[in-house]
Structure 1
Amino acid sequence: MLTTFFICSMLHRMPNKPLSALTLQDRDIEIQIEVHRKWEFRGAIDNGPILHIDMILTDCIGNAIHCQIPSFPAAKRGDEFQVGKIYKMSRFPVARAKSSYKPVDGDLMLYVTPYTTLELCHNSPSSFPLYVYSLTSYDKIDPNEPNARNFHDVISIITEISAIKPVGNARIPSSYNRHVLIKNLSDSILKITLWGKRAQEFYLTNTYDPQKQTLVIVLFVGCLPKEFQGEVLLSGGAAYHWYFNPSIEEATAFYNKIESEKINIELPSLDGQEITPPQLPQREHHDLKYILPLNPHDVPDEGYECTVTITSIPEGKTWYYIACNTCPNKPSIDPIIRQCSTCGSTKYCFRYKLTFKASDGTAEAEMFAFDTVARTIIGKPCPMVVASFSRCISYPT
């Protein structure tokens, strides 16, 4: 018993392992980390259920790693991790990094489970990094490259910021967005579209002085390349973050322009104020037995609400369609070339059209959901699911 206690005690006192030294074989180790960034992923709907919580963890020698709390323990354990706090962490699995939506470079990532232990550190080194980034130049931003499914970081000068605008309709929960125009040292312009909570949180009221018109340098991290109506842009969602006037080496050339260049940024009138999204119309709740026999012309514009359970997914039904990546239309399907009949573009993407049967106990109905709602049900974007079949001779149906 004495020997057993001695071994366990020595294991407990093992020195903290650097993040760069972690391996897939690690089991009983301890690391000291700072929660550098943290965000909740709720799919395409702002107020949807938490699908997972993501974090970037750093150590005191400058290493960074992606860590994820899956949906099951997220509700209980998410609040234990506070941004800017330093912890000793143990009893966590080390896994291979995801092939897409990677916030940091690296081959490994961590997961938090109900068994992961966390201890707040009160006396810790002050050498944890202030910034975690990997810059991408404007000419390397390509939404059609495989790397487009990973997050991009850019440093730029802000030239324009729009007001927040509501998006959505009566059948899909509302969100809002705002556009930010930025430029690099070559004066090339790039648009960043911010969504939901990130759009509301981004404002320049306390950063930009309209009288002095001094340049605002900004480091954007966690953006995804997109293409809309032929324009390449960056999209900022839950993982997106920014740092005004960062103290990093790559910003030096931008700061050299501050003395010689001024810029007039027209600030939106509602900048920094609380924005309330448009209220969805109230829908009547009915069961399927009541809804199914109705004449469609008798159904109100806002529709009805019904709570159902998915009972089956019919075989032989396609669960995705191929959409134009330049305009919102579905392109014609050609066995050799898929070309949009509206704009002529051959750039396409995969989107859900999920068919399923559902019941509420009173009746059963066949239903379908397009990309936005289907992503909430499945929990993964359609391109990610299709990519998992990349070794197949043909795409699944």
Structure 2
Amino acid sequence: MARSVVIRVRVYRKWEYCGRTGDGELVHVDLVLIDEKGNAMYAEIPTKDAKEKSPLVQEGSIYIISRFLPGNYMIEFNFYTEVQPVPEDAVIMPELVYHLTPFSQLECHAGDQSRFIDVVGVLVEISDAKTMHLTNSAAPVISRDIVLRDLTHFEIKVTLWGDRASSFDIDAIYDPNESEPIVVLLVGTVVKTYIGQHYLSGNATCRWYFNPTIPEAVPFYNRRTAPSVDQARGARLAQAEIATLTDLATMDPYTIGWFASCAKCNKSCVVEGSGYKCRLCLSTNSKFKFVLNLCAFHYVCPCAIMIIAHLFYIFHPYRYKLSFVATDGTTEAKMIAFADVATRIIGKPVQTLMRARTPIQDFPSDITALVTMKFTFVVMQTDESFDRPEKSYRVLSMLSAHGRQAPERF
């Protein structure tokens, strides 16, 4: 009789598969196992054995597993499978196993369900969790969008679903006084496409690791203090059309100038034939925008603060509506930012501000702290600009934050 195979592995990831939408009956319990050399293999616990065998293995722990059904690409637990815990200090076992895909190559994996995608980048946007009703799901599902940026300023949206959406939380590592970027190693996602835009989708298979100690994250950490950061930002802005608030105030909203920007990576495009082509990723899918540079918070409109407080207490789920007056030294203008964009400007989800706010505060300190902060925004004129000579603007995105500035510098 053939000798039974015995393996010593760490349970790298564990999740329950309950159908494509995640709201059905349990189909099987899935595991990703890694050995001492960093090799990874998929494992599955069938429904009939899940009640007895699933509690024996916990994510992150090390076990000796025997009497299972081996295969070419996976192993399967059965009634006879034995699991023996191994003390953490008894063996040196990798904590992380990943195979990174560059952001620029994600499009090649769109629709491919045969492999998971792992990426690393800086967290630049995080939305509130929201409830959605999908046509292929009987019950509403929770989703949350985040945006990661790589070293070339290529950005990718990641949509988290279900438990992954509700459990994504940066409160434990976010320090508003330090203003340090958050590097994220994201594993177990798939590339999907919606209305021509590629994005990463993360469900029960997905995991993330904040500020991981991996070699690929070192360049992100070095850029926190390296002088090349501002140079890179300057080069990016140089490709765009720069305008002051005075320039924008004199523009006719019906003839206002725009520049072509790649819809995938936000780099500027060049003319090619009758259309435009991205210089970086060679995409021909473009959009148009103009850049407002050197925009700083001079003071916060009291009326806007009242509107924010009103939204805090009446609407659910909570959403940002950030109104303010900005100056760049040439003139002042009213601006407004919503939801994800406001979250990135303030640096915290609205729920975090709600939890931290005390009854004696007139307004959250994270809002009042924005006064004299300097940013570079991408903006567009609001509908009101077409009806009156005074222009107002909606912030579409924040390109960069430059810290606190003294008023006399403007």
1:182 pairs, out of 136, 145, 148, with: 148
Deviations 1:208-249 (A, max 9, x none): 222321110010000000000111000000100000000111
Unaligned ranges ≥5, structure 2: 231-343, 356-410
Measured after TM superposition, the shift of residue 268 of structure 1 is: 1.5
2:224 pairs, out of 239, 258, 281, with: 258
Query: Judging changes above 3 Å, is the alpha-carbon distance between structure 1 residues 51 and 246 closer, same or farther for their aligned structure 2 residues?
Result: same
1:236 and 2:317 correspond = no
The more displaced of 213-222 and 262-271 is 262-271
Output the CA distance in 1 between the equivalents of 2:214 and 2:128.
29
The match for 1:267 is 348
The match for 1:44 is 20
- The answer as to whether partners of 2:110 and 2:191 remain within 8 angstroms in 1 is no
Output the CA distance in 1 between the equivalents of 2:3 and 2:194.
45
2:80 pairs, out of 115, 120, 135, with: 115
Unaligned ranges ≥5, structure 1: 1-7, 9-25, 98-108, 275-397
- Percent of aligned pairs sharing the same letter: 32
1:34 and 2:23 correspond = no
- The answer as to whether partners of 1:226 and 1:232 remain within 8 angstroms in 2 is yes
Amino acid at match of 2:45: I
Amino acid at match of 2:76: Y
The match for 1:194 is 160
Amino acid at match of 2:96: Y
Aligned residue pair count: 239
Output the CA distance in 1 between the equivalents of 2:121 and 2:51.
36
What is the 5 A alignment of 1:276-287?
Answer: none
* 1:192 match: secondary structure: strand
Deviations 1:307-356 (A, max 9, x none): xxxxxxxxxxxxxxxxxxxxxxxxxxxxxxxxxxxxxxxxxxxxxxxxxx
More helix by share: 2
- The answer as to whether partners of 1:53 and 1:71 remain within 8 angstroms in 2 is yes
- The answer as to whether partners of 1:135 and 1:155 remain within 8 angstroms in 2 is yes
- The answer as to whether partners of 2:112 and 2:190 remain within 8 angstroms in 1 is no
Bigger RCO of structures 1 and 2 (CA < 8 A, at least 6 apart): 1
Amino acid at match of 2:217: A
- The answer as to whether partners of 2:131 and 2:143 remain within 8 angstroms in 1 is yes
2:192 pairs, out of 226, 232, 235, with: 226
The match for 2:42 is 66
Measured after TM superposition, the shift of residue 47 of structure 1 is: 3.8
Measured after TM superposition, the shift of residue 169 of structure 1 is: 6.6
Query: Judging changes above 3 Å, is the alpha-carbon distance between structure 1 residues 205 and 43 closer, same or farther for their aligned structure 2 residues?
Result: same
- The answer as to whether partners of 2:111 and 2:191 remain within 8 angstroms in 1 is no
Deviations 1:340-380 (A, max 9, x none): xxxxxxxxxxxxxxxxxxxxxxxxxxxxxxxxxxxxxxxxx
Output the CA distance in 1 between the equivalents of 2:138 and 2:108.
26
Output the CA distance in 1 between the equivalents of 2:88 and 2:218.
33
Output the CA distance in 2 between the equivalents of 1:57 and 1:169.
32
Deviations 1:266-290 (A, max 9, x none): 322225999xxxxxxxxxxxxxxxx
- The answer as to whether partners of 2:111 and 2:192 remain within 8 angstroms in 1 is no
TM-score normalised according to structure 2 size = 0.54
Measured after TM superposition, the shift of residue 90 of structure 1 is: 0.7
TM-score normalised according to structure 1 size = 0.56
- The answer as to whether partners of 2:111 and 2:193 remain within 8 angstroms in 1 is no
Query: Judging changes above 3 Å, is the alpha-carbon distance between structure 1 residues 271 and 37 closer, same or farther for their aligned structure 2 residues?
Result: farther
Output the CA distance in 1 between the equivalents of 2:156 and 2:162.
20
- The answer as to whether partners of 2:188 and 2:207 remain within 8 angstroms in 1 is yes
Query: Judging changes above 3 Å, is the alpha-carbon distance between structure 1 residues 273 and 201 closer, same or farther for their aligned structure 2 residues?
Result: farther
Output the CA distance in 2 between the equivalents of 1:39 and 1:152.
17
More strand by share: 2
* 1:252 match: secondary structure: helix
- The answer as to whether partners of 1:157 and 1:218 remain within 8 angstroms in 2 is yes
Query: Judging changes above 3 Å, is the alpha-carbon distance between structure 1 residues 256 and 193 closer, same or farther for their aligned structure 2 residues?
Result: same
Amino acid at match of 2:204: A
The match for 2:172 is 206
Query: Judging changes above 3 Å, is the alpha-carbon distance between structure 1 residues 30 and 149 closer, same or farther for their aligned structure 2 residues?
Result: closer
Deviations 1:183-230 (A, max 9, x none): 000001100000000000001111122232111001000000000011
Amino acid at match of 1:64: A
What is the 5 A alignment of 1:221-370?
Answer: 221-260=187-226, 266-271=347-352
Measured after TM superposition, the shift of residue 147 of structure 1 is: 4.4
2:105 pairs, out of 140, 149, 166, with: 140
Query: Judging changes above 3 Å, is the alpha-carbon distance between structure 1 residues 211 and 253 closer, same or farther for their aligned structure 2 residues?
Result: same
- The answer as to whether partners of 1:50 and 1:74 remain within 8 angstroms in 2 is no
Output the CA distance in 2 between the equivalents of 1:111 and 1:128.
22
Output the CA distance in 1 between the equivalents of 2:30 and 2:354.
28
Output the CA distance in 1 between the equivalents of 2:41 and 2:193.
29
- The answer as to whether partners of 1:87 and 1:118 remain within 8 angstroms in 2 is yes
Output the CA distance in 1 between the equivalents of 2:65 and 2:24.
29
Output the CA distance in 2 between the equivalents of 1:145 and 1:257.
30
Amino acid at match of 1:223: T
- The answer as to whether partners of 1:60 and 1:125 remain within 8 angstroms in 2 is no
- The answer as to whether partners of 1:162 and 1:178 remain within 8 angstroms in 2 is yes
Amino acid at match of 1:63: N
Amino acid at match of 1:77: K
- The answer as to whether partners of 1:62 and 1:129 remain within 8 angstroms in 2 is yes
